[in-house]
């Protein structure tokens, strides 16, 4: 059974998909473990010493047909600028797969997938995976404005509601506001036991969605994107407060996917 390993693997493509967002596609070695939605990898973006640390990114897609995997990343600082300069046939230094995956929904449940900002990659990966299992998810994707949204074809991701803070495309407002009105208009009281939320995005968005899920009696799974050090469980740099006697959990090994009820959200709202 293949497990965590380091791969030096060729870039297949690296293209802009939205304002400040790129999609990097790279060869996925046949001997490597198949990545699942929610899991992540770390990349050493440069052969030099800057930046020193590997950077974590969630898988946004895996294609068995052509042995490739992808991430969608936002330009932030040094590492992501170095990634954006990669061209086909360059090599990426990848450590993967890391972390836990989203649990797939039980039969007869209604999956609702929600992403904001850099959370878009794992949620689109989950949407494609569910469609591949003949499960049609409802997908809500949020961005500040239209330019921050990648192409979201229904045949690849199912029924997508796009939301922009400035109203330049789709629903005006946050994804959590759109979720509330979607739940209201679909008579959530008839469905609450059968719906399940899957979320990835900024902490305040996750905390607000968690509160809404509690209000409606819905299970919510969140993929956290805590800043990381080692990414393999050794440094505690990614610890988050959780409920219960353990008090802290490491996002890199016990997560990044958690049942939202296990997280102590007090510092995230
Ligand atoms: C499990 C996991 C999955 C992730 N998946 C993705 C992904 O799919 N796509 C993506 O674009 N990014 C993702 N990230 C965040 C990504 O790791 C950072 O954006 C990246 O490390 C920035 O590196 P940099 O050197 O370019 O910027 P840096 O110079 O390291 O940081 C630049 C700015 O970005 C902020 N920043 C850095 N890391 C994070 C973070 N984790 N969350 C929020 N803000 C951060 C810093 O505060 C700083 O202001 C993920 C992080 C984790 C832990
Ligand atoms: S980043 Fe080191 S323990 Fe998680």
Residue 45 lies in a domain: yes
Instruction: Give pLDDT tens digits along the chain (269 positions).
Output: 568 999 999 999 999 999 999 999 999 999 999 999 999 999 999 999 999 999 999 999 999 999 999 999 999 999 999 999 999 999 999 999 999 999 999 888 899 999 999 999 999 999 999 999 999 899 999 999 999 999 999 989 988 999 999 999 999 999 999 999 988 776 544 544 488 999 999 999 999 999 999 999 999 999 999 999 999 999 999 999 999 888 999 999 999 999 999 999 987 65
Name which residue sits closest to atom 28 of ligand 1, judged by CA: 77
The residues pairing with 10 across neighbouring beta strands, listed in sequence order, are 91
Q: Is the CB of 238 under 6 A from ligand 2?
A: yes
Q: Is the CB of 228 under 6 A from ligand 1?
A: yes
Q: Is the CB of 73 under 6 A from ligand 1?
A: yes
Residue 228 lies in a domain: no
Instruction: Please give the number of the atom of ligand 1 that sits closest to the Cα of 255.
Output: 1
pLDDT for residue 42: 98
Residue 88 lies in a domain: yes
pLDDT for residue 192: 47
Instruction: Please give the number of the atom of ligand 1 that sits closest to the Cα of 98.
Output: 1
- Residue position matching structure tokens 């790129």: 22
Q: How far apart are CA 96 and CA 56, in angstroms?
A: 10
Residue 213 lies in a domain: no
- Residue 10 — φ and ψ, nearest 5°? -75, 145
Q: Is the CB of 88 under 6 A from ligand 2?
A: no
Q: How far apart are CA 218 and CA 187, in angstroms?
A: 13
Residue 49 lies in a domain: yes
pLDDT for residue 205: 97
Ligand at shortest distance from the CA of 224: 1
Residue 26 lies in a domain: yes
- In the reported structure, the alpha carbon of residue 212 is separated from the centroid of ligand 1 by a whole-number distance in angstroms of 26
Q: Is the CB of 51 under 6 A from ligand 1?
A: yes
pLDDT for residue 266: 87
- Tell me the residue range of the domain where 9 lies: 5-98
Q: How far apart are CA 152 and CA 109, in angstroms?
A: 23
Ligand at shortest distance from the CA of 82: 1
Residue 104 lies in a domain: no
- In the reported structure, the alpha carbon of residue 195 is separated from the centroid of ligand 2 by a whole-number distance in angstroms of 32
Residue 162 lies in a domain: no
- In the reported structure, the alpha carbon of residue 122 is separated from the centroid of ligand 1 by a whole-number distance in angstroms of 14
Q: How many CB atoms lie within 10 A of CB 190?
A: 8
Ligand at shortest distance from the CA of 250: 2
Q: Is the CB of 248 under 6 A from ligand 2?
A: no
CATH number, domain of 59, equals 2.40.30.10
The number of distinct structural domains making up the chain is 1
pLDDT for residue 135: 92
Q: How far apart are CA 221 and CA 199, in angstroms?
A: 6
């Amino acid at each position: 059974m293949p497990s965590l390993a380091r791969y030096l693997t060729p870039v297949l493509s690296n293209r802009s998909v939205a304002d400040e967002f790129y999609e990097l596609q790279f060869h996925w070695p046949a001997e490597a473990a198949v990545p699942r939605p929610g899991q992540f990898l770390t990349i050493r973006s440069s052969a030099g010493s800057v930046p020193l640390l590997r950077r974590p990114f969630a898988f946004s897609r895996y294609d068995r047909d052509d042995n490739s995997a992808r991430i969608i990343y936002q330009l932030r600082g040094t590492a992501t600028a170095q990634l954006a300069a990669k061209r086909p046939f360059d090599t990426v230094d990848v450590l993967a797969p890391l972390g836990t995956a989203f649990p797939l929904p039980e039969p007869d449940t209604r999956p609702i997938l929600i992403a904001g900002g850099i959370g878009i990659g794992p949620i689109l990966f989950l949407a494609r995976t569910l469609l591949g299992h003949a499960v049609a998810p409802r997908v809500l994707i949020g961005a500040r404005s239209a330019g921050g949204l990648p192409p979201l074809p229904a045949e690849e991701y199912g029924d997508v509601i796009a939301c922009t803070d400035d109203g330049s495309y789709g629903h005006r407002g946050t994804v959590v506001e759109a979720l509330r009105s979607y739940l209201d208009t679909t008579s959530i009281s008839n469905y609450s036991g059968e719906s399940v939320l899957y979320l990835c995005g900024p902490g305040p968005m996750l905390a607000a969605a968690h509160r809404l899920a509690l209000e409606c009696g819905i299970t919510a799974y969140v993929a956290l994107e805590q800043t990381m050090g080692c990414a393999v469980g050794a440094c505690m740099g990614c610890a988050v407060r959780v409920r219960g006697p353990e008090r802290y959990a490491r996002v890199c090994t016990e997560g990044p996917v958690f049942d939202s009820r296990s997280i102590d959200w007090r510092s995230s709202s």
